Amino acid sequence: MIPAIKFENVCYEKDELSILNNINGVFNKGKITTLVGPSGAGKTTLLKLCNGLYSATSGEIYIQDNPIHSYEPTTLRRKVGIVLQSAPIIRGTVYKNLALPFTLQNKKLPENEAIKFLNDVGLNESFLHRQAEDLSGGQRQKVSIARTLINQPEVLLLDEITSALDPTSVNEIEQLILKINQKYDVTIIWITHNIEQAKRVGDYTWVMMEGQLIESGETNILWTNTNKLIQNFVSGVTEA
Amino acid sequence: MSYTTLSLTLIFVLIPLVLSKSLKLDLEKDTIIATVRSIIQLLIVGYILKFVFETESIIYILLMITLMIVAATLNARKKGKAIKGITWKIALTLIVVEVVTQGILIGLHIIPATAQYIIPISGMLIGNSMVLSILFLNRFTAEVESSRDQIELVLSLGGTPKQAIHTQLTNAIKASMIPTIESQKTIGLVQLPGMMSGQIIGGADPVQAVQFQILIIFGLLTTAALSSIIVGFLSYPTLFNERMQIIKNV
Ligand SMILES: Nc1ncnc2c1ncn2[C@@H]1O[C@H](COP(=O)(O)OP(=O)(O)O)[C@@H](O)[C@H]1O
Ligand SMILES: [Mg+2]
């Protein structure tokens, strides 16, 4: 297996507080790795390290075998795209939001391109000129996913992207991500609160707790694991 | 005006003191401090100005302007403590404002190059520049604080720090300039500007007083634009590190 991303003794501290503690592991190229763990485990922090929004305090992250800092930050961030948990939107229309990755490179996103991406996330053409601020939480999440896809990232980082969606939409988005994964050979790291989702979509799964990677491996093997912590977590004991 | 006559104006201080006392506003102490300070500061300035005007030496003029810039810088930097190197950034802004405005005024012979013109006009423009810098810094830190998510979003999609902060920067620049522009729309209608009033009371021809006021108004516009834009463009890079990451705790 070729690692798309490799973590080597990665620690991340903030205000002298340890957020991530000695993370080691690989994310295999072209595969979907689901990332589970209770709130505050450090999952979001780990994704932001991959996208270059944060830098590790110690240790090294490799992107396709090159140290992460050997990439220009803007190049890295287009290559390793993230859909942020809070699904932030910028003021203006849905089109303006979708076109943002292009605008940042002084390019213009053709409207039909934008519509294609909208359709991909289950929104129709009529949304294009709506004000993004008027959208529901779920619709914002969909726009946010489409916006990241516009950069055509080689690695896609997803941070609880279906948390505000109804079951039908969840299914739609899961199918979309699986399709993108297969069609473009995109490597995906997918944080989810939903254990069933983690099992459904993951080739591999990482279980995180209190800043540590406590278990990782092929998804279907992992859930038969006897590790008490994981069993507790799976059965929802550590979930608030 | 004699000092005896001037002392009669202390009645104006007495009125708020009595009101504060009887209504328990608890403002007596501050009122007294403000009164004493304004008397001392203005008298000192008056005598210094008199001295500088009489000697008409370029050294003293430069010294006065330097003092103004130092005082204004120390005042304004309190609002931007979180921004690295804010002191020299504000100082540089004030210096640019002063050089540009005086350069135009003196260079084009709009005013004579004498202390009597240079110092009061510098004072007004530097003071305004200081207020603008404070307005800008207040607004800018608030904007950055409330739109951290949007800034991070633009960075995460491959935007540069300049692109990420663009909206917050321009919002803060605009917001800090609006009071200057707005106040000029109604100028003269409700209240006469302080400088113009002073000149008229001092016996100057009202039309000439108006001409100087117009000069100041235009100067203030330039000052406003220059101040917020320069402070803004000098400040925003310090919110990011060399890996284009937003630095926390602004
Ligand atoms: N901006 C922040 N300021 C302070 N603490 C933070 C911030 N972001 C994350 N943390 C802390 O880092 C830890 C990990 O957070 P996070 O990565 O968001 O976890 P998760 O995504 O697994 O819920 C938590 O203890 C959280 O309190
Ligand atoms: Mg999170």
Name, in order, each residue with C-beta under 8 angstroms of B47's C-beta and a sequence gap of 6 or more: none
DSSP annotation of A178 reads: H
On whether residue B234 sits in a domain, the answer given is yes
On whether residue A101 sits in a domain, the answer given is no
The residue ranges of chain A whose pLDDT is under 70 are 224-240
Residue labelled with tokens 């690989």:
A26
Query: Cβ-count burial of B132 within 10 angstroms (0-12 exposed, 13-18 middle, 19+ buried)?
Result: buried
Query: Cβ-count burial of B44 within 10 angstroms (0-12 exposed, 13-18 middle, 19+ buried)?
Result: exposed
Query: Cβ-count burial of B103 within 10 angstroms (0-12 exposed, 13-18 middle, 19+ buried)?
Result: exposed
- Is A24's Cβ below 8 Å from some Cβ in B? no
Q: Which amino acid is at A211?
A: G
* B160/A90 Cβ within 8 A: no
Nearest CA to ligand 1 atom 8: A45
Nearest CA to ligand 1 atom 18: A44
On whether residue B246 sits in a domain, the answer given is no
- Is A133's Cβ below 8 Å from some Cβ in B? no
Is residue B217 domain-shared with residue B121, that is, in the same domain?
yes
Of B157, B167, B245, the CB nearest to A54: B245
| Strand-pair category, A80-83 with A3-14 | unpaired
pTM for this predicted structure = 0.87
DSSP annotation of A189 reads: E
Is residue B8 domain-shared with residue B113, that is, in the same domain?
no
Query: What pLDDT score was predicted for residue A50?
Result: 98
Confirm if B138 and A59 have CB atoms less than 8 A apart. Answer: no
* B160/A147 Cβ within 8 A: no
Is residue B115 domain-shared with residue B128, that is, in the same domain?
yes
Is residue B122 domain-shared with residue B27, that is, in the same domain?
no
On whether residue A100 sits in a domain, the answer given is no
The residue ranges of chain B whose pLDDT is under 70 are 249-250
Nearest-angstrom CA–CA distance, B38 and A143: 59
* Domain assignment of residue A222, given as a range: 3-86+153-235
Is residue B36 domain-shared with residue B88, that is, in the same domain?
no
* B157/A100 Cβ within 8 A: yes
Q: Output the CA A7–ligand 1 centroid distance in Å.
A: 19
On whether residue B24 sits in a domain, the answer given is yes
Is residue B92 domain-shared with residue B8, that is, in the same domain?
no
On whether residue B172 sits in a domain, the answer given is yes
* Domain assignment of residue B2, given as a range: 1-55
* B158/A77 Cβ within 8 A: yes
On whether residue A137 sits in a domain, the answer given is no
On whether residue A204 sits in a domain, the answer given is yes
Query: What pLDDT score was predicted for residue B230?
Result: 97
Query: What pLDDT score was predicted for residue A221?
Result: 78
Domain at A11, CATH number: 3.40.50.300
Q: Output the CA A39–ligand 2 centroid distance in Å.
A: 7
Nearest-angstrom CA–CA distance, B190 and B200: 16
For residue B224, CA distances in Å to A72, B60, B113, B142, B146 come to 37, 27, 23, 20, 24
Q: A189-224: per-residue pLDDT in tens?
A: 999 988 899 999 999 999 999 999 999 999 987 776
Query: What pLDDT score was predicted for residue A144?
Result: 97
> Which residues of chain B make contact with A69, given a CB cutoff of 8 A?
243
On whether residue B121 sits in a domain, the answer given is yes
CA A51 to chain B, closest CA, distance in angstroms equals: 7
Helix, strand, coil percentages in chain B from 3-state DSSP, rounded to 5 = 80, 0, 20
C-beta A40 within 6 A of ligand 1: yes
Query: What pLDDT score was predicted for residue B78?
Result: 84
On whether residue A127 sits in a domain, the answer given is no
State how many domains chain B has.
2
ipTM for the predicted complex: 0.94
- Angle, nearest 10°, between helix axes B161-185 and B206-235? 170
On whether residue B250 sits in a domain, the answer given is no
> Which residues of chain A make contact with B156, given a CB cutoff of 8 A?
51, 53, 77, 81-82, 84
Query: What pLDDT score was predicted for residue A240?
Result: 40
On whether residue B95 sits in a domain, the answer given is yes
Query: What pLDDT score was predicted for residue A116?
Result: 96
| Strand-pair category, A80-83 with A66-67 | unpaired
Confirm if A2 and A28 have CB atoms less than 8 A apart. Answer: yes
Query: What pLDDT score was predicted for residue A239?
Result: 45
State how many domains chain A has.
1
* A101/B244 Cβ within 8 A: no
Is residue B225 domain-shared with residue B107, that is, in the same domain?
yes
Give the pair of three-digit tokens for residue B182.
């707005």
On whether residue B244 sits in a domain, the answer given is no
